[in-house]
Amino acid sequence: MKVVKDVNYAQINHPQQMLDIYLPNCESFPVFIYFHGGGIESGDKEGTDVIAKYLTDKNIAFVTCNYRMYPYASYPEFIKDAAAAVAWVYNNISQYGNATKFIVGGSSAGGYLSMMLCFDKKYLAPFKINPDDINAYIHDAGQPTSHFNVLRERGFDSRRVIIDETAPIYHVTENPDYSKMLFIVSDDDMENRYEQTMLMMSTLKHFNGECDKFKLKVMNGTHCQYVHSADENDNNVFAKICAEYICNL
């Protein structure tokens, strides 16, 4: 595994606009671009070494990205950062090898970011990328309605369920060109997260019918517990789920 740390993906050189690249020992590979969780106010790209090691051992490149967060950013700056990171990888990964597929995903707040990039085309548009050009998305425990900290920023009770342009589900339409997607959620997730994920799945079905592009995996446990846990063979559970999904695209 080769590691390239702290690549600046934007033009303003903000210290949070950095990504790390973990490369497998092969010339061609799918690339998984990942955004960490933390409520858009905490979290870091560091600490994903176990995930990176498992994926690169499966010949998958792993790119983990930081982005501007509260209180130093406001909506939609963190989404614009996520789009800039994806665009940088999309346009520059050829420096390091041949990318056979691009997968975008994230956990919790990162899942909100990956959904916003997937469903609201305006964020990747400045980079001349259509969200449907990405081969697949892994939306892990993201909030499909307006994110609770986006609500707080706007002066709303963070428990409210609001569906407007700040919500990924607001942008779901009938689209035969949607990329493949894997949604992951826990049966004992954050309050209302499981139910909102089911609403997202139902909404996609409502617009697009019975479509095998959209997969759902319900985990046993609490919110994103599997992201930091190991199975009986000491493999990271989340990395194993992602690797199996990516290898079968």
Model pLDDT for residues 151-176, shown as the tens digit of each residue: 999 999 999 999 999 999 999 999 99
Cα gap 205→29, rounded to integer Å = 31
What confidence score (pLDDT) does residue 210 get?
A: 83
Cα gap 78→67, rounded to integer Å = 6
Q: In terms of pLDDT, which residue wins out, 11 or 102?
A: 102
Categorize the per-residue pLDDT at 11 as very low, low, confident or very high, splitting at 50, 70 and 90: confident
Q: Tell me the DSSP string of the chain.
A: -EEEEEEE-SSS--TTSEEEEEE-SSSEEEEEEEE--STTTS--STT-HHHHHHHHHTT-EEEEE----TTT--TTHHHHHHHHHHHHHHHHGGGTSEEEEEEEEEETHHHHHHHHHHH-TTTTGGGT--GGGSSEEEEES--SSS-HHHHHHTTS-TT----STTSGGGG----TTPPEEEEEEEEE-STTHHHHHHHHHHHHHHHH-S-TTEEEEEEEEETTGGGG-B-TTS-BHHHHHHHHHHHT-
CB contact at 8 A, 134 and 105: no
Categorize the per-residue pLDDT at 142 as very low, low, confident or very high, splitting at 50, 70 and 90: very high
Q: What digits encode the pLDDT tens for the residues 28-83?
A: 999 999 999 999 999 999 989 999 999 999 999 999 999 999 999 999 999 999 99
What confidence score (pLDDT) does residue 174 get?
A: 97
Structural domains in the chain?
2-247 (3.40.50.1820)
Q: What digits encode the pLDDT tens for the residues 115-136?
A: 999 999 999 999 999 999 999 9
What confidence score (pLDDT) does residue 47 get?
A: 87
Tokens representing 83 are 């789009």
Q: What digits encode the pLDDT tens for the residues 181-212?
A: 999 999 999 999 999 999 999 999 999 998 89
What confidence score (pLDDT) does residue 147 get?
A: 98
What confidence score (pLDDT) does residue 211 get?
A: 86
Closest to 117 measured CA to CA, from 97, 93, 90:
90
Mean pLDDT of 223-241: 96
